[in-house]
Structure 1
Amino acid sequence: MQRICVIGGSRYFGKLLVERLQAAGHQVTVINRGSARPPRGVEHLVVDRDDESALRAALGSRTFDAVVDQVCYTPVQAAIAARAFGGRTRRYVMTSTIEVYDPATAALPDVPTGTLVPEESVDPRAWHVAMDLPWHDAAYLEAHYAEGKRQAEAVLTRDGGFAFTAVRSAHVLGGGRQEFTGRLTYYTERIARGDGIAVHAEPLPTVFIHHGELADLLLWAATATDVTGPVNACSDGPLDVRDLAAIVAARTGREPVYETVAAGGTASPFSFDRHYAMSNARATDLGFAFSRTTDWLPGAVAEALAAAPAALAAATSHPASAAPTA
C-alpha cells in the first residue's frame, strides 16, 4: 500500500484514477476546490491549489509516496507545487499533453512526417521558463495551453526535489457523456445526421488513448519506481480523421460527408495539417502494455451514440443505418 495524493480527480479519467488507486489498496487523498466529492474512504482536502499558503495549511504534516497532478497548466502552478510538495513526496506525476509537440506553437526539432515523435523532441530540462507572462489570464492561458504545459514540466523537472514524471497524454476518448470535450460526439452527431465534416486535403494521423487506459497508466507511473522523465501515453495505431470517421460510419451506417478546407483553414477537431503523432515506445520498453486504438474506439463511438440526444438516436435507428454489433 502507498499513500498517494491526487490533485484534481473530480471528473473523467482523474475520477477513474482515484477509484482504481483505492481499489488497488492505496491510501488516497484528493485535493480540489470541492467541485465533487471523492469516493467514500478517500480523504478530501478542499483548497485552491493556486493559493500556496492555503495549500500548505491544508496539507499540514502529511507526506506521500506519490502525487498525481491532474490540473497543472502553468509554470506558476508548477512552482507552487514544487515548493509545497518538496520534502513531502518521493514522486510527482503530472498529466501533460500531446500538444507539447505541436510545431504550430513552438520552434521544435524537425521530426520527419511518418515518424512517431519521441519524448526527447521536447526536453523539459532545457526548456525556457517565463514566470512573468500573464498565466493568470484565462484567455492567455487558453491560447498558450501547450506552452504552459511545456513550462510547467520544466519547472517540476528542475525545481521539484522529487522524482518527476510528465505523462504526455494523447487525445482522450471514451466514456460517453463523461468525455467533456465533446470531440468524438462532434463526429458521431454530424455523420449520423449527414452533415459535412471539414477536413484538410491531406490530413495527417494523430494518436488517441482510452480514458480507462490513461487512468491505468497514471496509476502505473505513480507506483513504478523506475519511471521518470517524460512518458508518451497513447494506444497503438495512429489514425487520421478519415480513419476515425470510417469507424463512426460503421456504427451509424451512414457514409461521412467531407468538406475540404483551404490550406491554413479551420478543420474539424481531429483533422491535422501538421505532424506530431507520438511514439509510445518508451512506456512500452518500461513495461506498460498498450491496447490498439481500433480495438476500443468502436465501443467509444457506441457510447457516444448512446449518450446522444433523442433526436440523434432517432436519426440512427432507421433500418438503413443499423449499427453493426462487432
Structure 2
Amino acid sequence: MARVVVIGATGHVGTYLVPRLVEAGHDVIAISRGNAEPYMPHAAWKSVEKKQMDRAAMEKDGSFGQAIRALKADIVIDKICFTLESAQQLGEALNGHVGHLLHTGTIWTHGRSVAVPTREDAPKTPFGEYGIQKKAIEDHFLREAKLHGLPVTLIHPGHIVGRGWAPLNPAGHFNLAAFETIARGGQLTLPNFGLETVHHVHADDIAALFMAAIGNWRASTGESFHAVSEQALTLRGYAEAMYRWFGHEPNLAFKPYDEWKKDQTPEDATATLEHIARSPNCSMEKARNLLDFRPRYSSLDAVQDAVGWLIEAGRIGS
C-alpha cells in the first residue's frame, strides 16, 4: 500500500492508529523523541520501523522537515506540531514530495462557542497560547492548500480518552479522586450548576477518522474535521451517569466556581477553568457527510472504557 510516517507515534492516538495502518497493509515508520512504548500492546508494532528524532533540536537548525522528507513517505501524519513555525518548516519541506500530510489540531481553536453544536466553519476566537497557535497552524495549512496545492488534512480532536491514561472527569479536571468519590457513592461538588459541557472522543475513533481521511483523499485534502463523540456531556449529566455506572444514585452538590476552587488544588482548579471556560460542543456532520465517518464510541462509552482500565490497573479504588 503506502509508506506512512507517523510523528509522535506512541502517544494517545498513535497507540491505536499505528496498528490500524499496519493492518491496512501500510509500511509504517514511527517517529518519536525517545524510547516510549505505546499505551496498549499490539502485535502490529513488531513490523513497524522505529526512528528517534529530537524535533525541537532539529527544528532549531532547520533539519527536521528535511529529515522527514528524506524518508520518502507517501503519507505523513503529524501528531505533535504545536507552533506555526513547526508547521511551516514541515509543510515547506514536504509540499511536492508527499501525497498526503495529516495534522492533529484541537477543538480549542474555536475558543468559546456561539451556536452549538459548533461546525468547523464557525468563526473562531481562540484564547490561550495552545488554541491560538493551533488556529494559526490551521489558517496557514488551509491557505497553503488553496494557494499552493499542499495536500493537507486537519483533524481536530476533543478531550481524548482511552485505555492507558486518566480521562477528563466530571469535575472538569484529571484528578482520579473525583472518580473515587463517585465509586464509593460520596458527594461530589461541581462548579456552578454543572451545566458547562465537555466533549470527549475515544482515541480509537480519532485513529479511525485518520484512516477515513486517508481513504477519501479527494474529499479530505484542504479540509478540517472535528474528531469528537456524537454528543457532548454536561458536567452534571456526566457525573450522574458515572454514579449510576458504579451502582449508586447521584450525590451532587454545587458551588459558584470562585467558591468551589477554594476546596481544590490550584492545578485542578486551573484545569477545570480551562475546560468550562470553553465548554465545547462540536458537530460531526462534516465527517459524516464528506467521509462517511461516524464515531463508534459515545462520550460515556469512551470514558467508561478508560475508567474500566483504571480499575483493572488498581488506580481507582473505592
1:211 is matched with which residue: 203, 210, 220? 203
Aligned to 2:182: 191
Contact residue 5 and residue 29 of structure 1 kept, 8 A:
yes
Distance 1:272 1:94, change over 3 A: same
Query: 2:87 is matched with which residue: 78, 96, 100?
Result: 78
Deviation for aligned residue 1:274: 4.9
Q: Distance in 1 between matches of 2:166 and 2:211?
A: 20
Does 1:167 find its partner at 2:155? Answer: yes
**Counterpart position of 2:313:** 307
Instruction: Within 5 Å, give how 1:82-101 maps onto structure 2.
Output: 82-101=91-110
Amino acid across the alignment from 2:120: E
Give SS of 1:120's match: coil
Q: Give the structure 1 partner of residue 220 of structure 2.
A: 227
Whether 2:254 is the aligned partner of 1:259: answer: yes
Q: Does 1:154 align with 2:139?
A: yes
Of the candidates 291, 294, 300, which is equivalent to residue 289 of structure 1? 294
Matches within 5 A, 1:36-47: 36=36, 39-47=45-53
1:11 and 1:63 mapped to 2: Cα distance?
Answer: 23
| Structure 2: tracts of 5 or more residues without a match | 39-44, 262-268
Shift of 1:222: 2.9
CA distances 1:102-135 after superposition (whole Å, capped 9, x unpaired): 22xxxxxx723xx200001147xxx99xxxxxxx
User: CA contact under 8 A between 2:161 and 2:302: conserved in structure 1?
Assistant: no
Unaligned runs of 5+ in 1: 104-109, 129-141, 316-326
User: What is the rounded CA distance, in whole Å, between the counterparts of 1:111 and 1:168 in structure 2?
Assistant: 18
Separation (CA, whole Å) in 2 of partners of 1:45 and 1:298:
34
Match runs of 1:233-252 below 5 Å: 233-252=227-246
Give 1:23's aligned residue. 23
- Quote the sequence identity (%): 25
Aligned-residue offset at 1:180: 9.6
**1:42–1:180 Cα change, 3 Å:** farther
Q: State the match for 1:119 in structure 2.
A: 120
CA distances 1:18-42 after superposition (whole Å, capped 9, x unpaired)? 1211111101112221232672222
Q: 2: CA distance between counterparts of 1:206 and 1:75? A: 27
- In 2 relative to 1, CA 233–159 (structure 1 residues): closer, same or farther, beyond 3 Å? same
Measured in 2, the distance between the counterparts of 1:302 and 1:93 equals: 31
Classify 1:98/1:9 alpha carbon distance in 2 versus 1 (closer, same or farther; 3 Å).
same
In 1, Cα distance between equivalents of 2:37 and 2:165: 19
**Which whole-Å CA distance do the structure 1 matches of 2:143 and 2:74 have between them?**
19
Q: Distance in 2 between matches of 1:202 and 1:184?
A: 17
Q: Could you say if the C-alpha distance between residues 81 and 122 of structure 1 is closer, same or farther in structure 2, counting changes exceeding 3 Å? A: farther
* Distance in 1 (alpha carbons) for counterparts of 2:167 and 2:257: 30
Distance 1:189 1:85, change over 3 A: farther
| Richer in helix (by share) | 2
- CA displacement at 1:6 relative to structure 2: 0.7
Q: 1:79 to 1:261 in 2, by over 3 A?
A: same
CA distance in 1, matches of 2:75, 2:259: 43
Q: Any conservation in 2 of the 1:237–1:294 contact (CA below 8 Å)?
A: no
Work out the CA distance in 2 between the residues paired with 1:184 and 1:101: 26
Distance 2:176 2:49 in 1: 34
Counterpart contact for 1:6–1:69, Cα < 8 Å: yes
Counterpart of 2:73 in structure 1: which amino acid?
F
In the superposition, relative to structure 1, how do residues 30 and 260 fare at CA in structure 2: closer, same or farther (>3 Å)?
same
Shift in Å at residue 279 of structure 1? 0.5
Distance in 1 (CA, whole Å) between partners of 2:254 and 2:272 is 14
Report the TM-score, using the length of structure 1 for normalisation: 0.77
What code does the residue aligned with 2:299 have?
T
Q: Does the CA-based 8 Å contact 2:194-2:235 persist in structure 1?
A: no
Q: TM-score, normalised by structure 2?
A: 0.78
CA distance in 1, matches of 2:259, 2:203: 31
* 1:195 positional shift: 5.4
Distance of aligned partners of 1:27 and 1:276 in 2 relative to their CA distance in 1, 3 Å threshold: same
Does the CA-based 8 Å contact 1:3-1:66 persist in structure 2? Answer: yes
SS in structure 2 at match of 1:15: helix
